[in-house]
Structure 1
Amino acid sequence: MEEQRLAETVDCAERRDGSIDYRADMSLTAEQAQTSERHFLEWERGPFSHLIRLSVPHFAVTRGFRFVASGHLIDGLLSAQVYCDSLTGVSGNNLDRDPIVADLVTSGWIEFQEGKTRHSVGPGQICIRDTKASWEFSCAPATTAHVISIPRHLVIPRIGSPRALGQAYVSDAEVPEVRFFLNFLEAIRRSSGELEGSAAARRMARDACATLFSRIISERPGSGLGDHPQAVVAAARNVIERNLESGDLSPPMVARSVGVSLRTLHRCFSASNDSVMSFARRRRLQQAHDELVARGSTAGMSEVAARWHFSDASHFIRHFKSVYGATPAAYLKNQRKVSSP
């Protein structure tokens, strides 16, 4: 019954108004894998409906089959982490409704072929393709990938020329445009709470993703990243959040990670009346505050200040008081009074 549960999960993700959570889990025994084509018919109703003629290769049926995906589905835009065992099939139904799909492989490999064109995509590489064209594919055992699928009608008007979709785009994931896009997707994931409550916010996120996605595959690679200051700031904040404890956190490091120039980074933050390091300092102070509250009297000011990269304890205390209205010691004392019966 695993394949039936997959269908129910996909239906639920698409039915709930405002939901952006997506989950899929499919397990086939060795016996079921021998007739895998029948089980994959369940995928016709989900965001992977562009995959057809799926089957588990003969050499892999004795191991059974497992597929797991989790991520977000926003008005047709899918961003999901996927685990897939050995699988072959075709990506693309030659339909206008078929999406533009990117596979960023993190382990294993996926091979795509259309006519005489063949692409083997390994760890650290991304392949973007229009699934209106039919690509035969094969997936290695235990392959993991970040899969992004965007409705075709959102991308077509945004690309410089329709010819850009005529061939697959294969690149290293460290290319600035790709890195920028992935950072923005992570920022969306972190904002899932806000997106659930606002249809307008979901449309903005979807449209921004489609614009950035189209930039990658357009005939003008590398252009236009600075044309979306809110997206740059969102991606940069995500990088900062992941590196709050790092002593290497700096505007140049953030700019490199996001995939924009340092000048563009500063300009985008300035447009939001903020700065890179002001945001980092606020978030570090919040983390220090949370640590002090959790540890109480056992927390040493110098230790906490050093962990969150304040120059010394007095510097930390001064910033803490400016935000919370009291020194850390007085603040904790007041917290104990409030919480005591």
Structure 2
Amino acid sequence: MRVHYSTAQAAPAARKRYWDEAISQTYFPLELGFRSGPSFSGDLDVWSLGNLSISRNLSDGLIYRRHQRHLLHEREESYLITVPELSEISFAQDGKEVRCRPGAFLVERSHLPYEFSYVEPNALWVLKVPSATLRARVGQPERLASLSFDSTRGVGALFVDMIRNTAPRLDEMSDAAREISGKHLVDLLALSIEGDERVLAGAASSVQSAHLHRVERFIRTHLAASDLSPRSVAEGCGISIRYLHQLFATQGTTVCGWIRCQRLLMCDEALREIGGRRSISEIAYQWGFSDHAQFSRHYKAHFGRTPSEAREAARQAALAAETMTMPVG
């Protein structure tokens, strides 16, 4: 479903308030600083892809500020992947500043204050992704915040092309097809950033980081196998079991603990699917859990609620979003 907002629908004196409300409904609460006078112009299209969204934002120059007060009642963290097309954007978060020009995309984190601005009129594509969805595909996604990535070649270009080409077709798709398209977009996003040295870098050496990255990718590829074990991971990656355990010790976890966490994240994503028809047991078995009761215990320990409670909460949130996602007047 597409929702369209346009300041042309509001009286000149009410355009700024209209745009403020449209932005808050689409992303999350922000403080807006308008550069132009009463003639401010903006158009915003938003498409839902399950628990993700794509938006096309065209407006005059603006400053968007996310303050600590905006975070007080926020529960679920999300990331905005922003693609500027007409002019440069400036972004500052967590003590880091970056400029992102057309030909690149930027990652913003909702759970930290930030300032985002552009002086000239701009056209932005924005993919909004829940933290849990991104975390299931990228280790420690908070490392991505305030980083700019190339979108002129390779997988980065394919990712941005898919955003541009998917949005106009979403109105023709079923809910299930839109949800699957959203997952493909996040998969492409993960592929486009996973080889970046800034993402791989950490406390470990570059060699350790490369090995850990290869191991994590192997595990994600084989999560559905119920017999996935440290031994099969080590053999699949051509390293010793002892070294495998050392790699995860540098991250403050264990191999089995990390495998279980990734499985839980994928199960959580499946439970949040809009209109999902699979039973909880089917979801658990799909992602490598062989015992339903054990899965439920691990899920509750990790997320603080049972799988059935999580599924019901997702349904209620979807109903609330449908009610709220109406063009502001």
When the two structures are superposed, what TM-score results if normalisation uses the length of structure 1? 0.49
For structure 2, the 5+ residue unaligned runs are: 201-209, 222-329
Is the alpha carbon distance of 1:39 and 1:202 closer, same or farther for their aligned partners in structure 2, counting shifts above 3 Å? closer
Aligned residue number for residue 23 of structure 1: 4
Aligned residue number for residue 90 of structure 1: 65
> How far 1:136 moved relative to its partner?
0.8
Q: How does 1:222-261 map to 2 (within 5 A)?
A: none
Is the alpha carbon distance of 1:113 and 1:186 closer, same or farther for their aligned partners in structure 2, counting shifts above 3 Å? closer
Aligned residue number for residue 37 of structure 2: 61
RMSD of equivalent CA atoms: 3.2
> How far 1:152 moved relative to its partner?
2.3
> How far 1:70 moved relative to its partner?
2.6
- Cα shift readout 1:165-215 (whole Å, capped 9, x = no counterpart): 4x322022214221121233345346536523xx33232222222222233
Is the alpha carbon distance of 1:192 and 1:137 closer, same or farther for their aligned partners in structure 2, counting shifts above 3 Å? closer
- Residue 126 of structure 1 is aligned with which of 99, 105, 108? 105
Separation in 2, partners of 1:23, 1:168: 28
Give the aligned residue type for 2:53.
L
Aligned residue number for residue 115 of structure 2: 136
Give the aligned residue type for 1:142.
P
Separation in 2, partners of 1:152, 1:129: 11
SS in 1 for 2:120: coil
Is the alpha carbon distance of 1:118 and 1:193 closer, same or farther for their aligned partners in structure 2, counting shifts above 3 Å? closer
Is the alpha carbon distance of 1:29 and 1:195 closer, same or farther for their aligned partners in structure 2, counting shifts above 3 Å? closer
Sequence identity, in percent?
14
RCO comparison, higher one (Cα < 8 Å, 6+): 2
- Cα shift readout 1:300-340 (whole Å, capped 9, x = no counterpart): xxxxxxxxxxxxxxxxxxxxxxxxxxxxxxxxxxxxxxxxx
Q: How does 1:44-123 map to 2 (within 5 A)?
A: 46-48=25-27, 50-57=28-35, 60-61=36-37, 64-70=39-45, 72-91=47-66, 93-94=70-71, 95-123=74-102
Separation in 2, partners of 1:69, 1:100: 18
- Residue 159 of structure 2 is aligned with which of 165, 181, 199? 181
Q: Give yes or no for the alignment of 1:153 onto 2:128.
A: no
SS in 1 for 2:108: strand
Separation in 1, partners of 2:19, 2:57: 16
> How far 1:112 moved relative to its partner?
0.9
SS in 2 for 1:89: strand
SS in 2 for 1:108: coil
Give the aligned residue type for 1:25.
S
Aligned residue number for residue 190 of structure 2: 214
Is the alpha carbon distance of 1:66 and 1:182 closer, same or farther for their aligned partners in structure 2, counting shifts above 3 Å? same
Question: Any conservation in 2 of the 1:47–1:76 contact (CA below 8 Å)?
Answer: no
Separation in 1, partners of 2:66, 2:78: 10
Is the alpha carbon distance of 1:187 and 1:39 closer, same or farther for their aligned partners in structure 2, counting shifts above 3 Å? closer
Aligned residue number for residue 178 of structure 2: 202
Question: Any conservation in 2 of the 1:30–1:61 contact (CA below 8 Å)?
Answer: no
SS in 1 for 2:65: strand
Aligned residue number for residue 147 of structure 2: 169
Q: How does 1:290-305 map to 2 (within 5 A)?
A: none
Separation in 2, partners of 1:169, 1:126: 8
**Structure possessing the higher radius of gyration over alpha carbons:** 1
> How far 1:142 moved relative to its partner?
1.3
Separation in 2, partners of 1:131, 1:187: 26
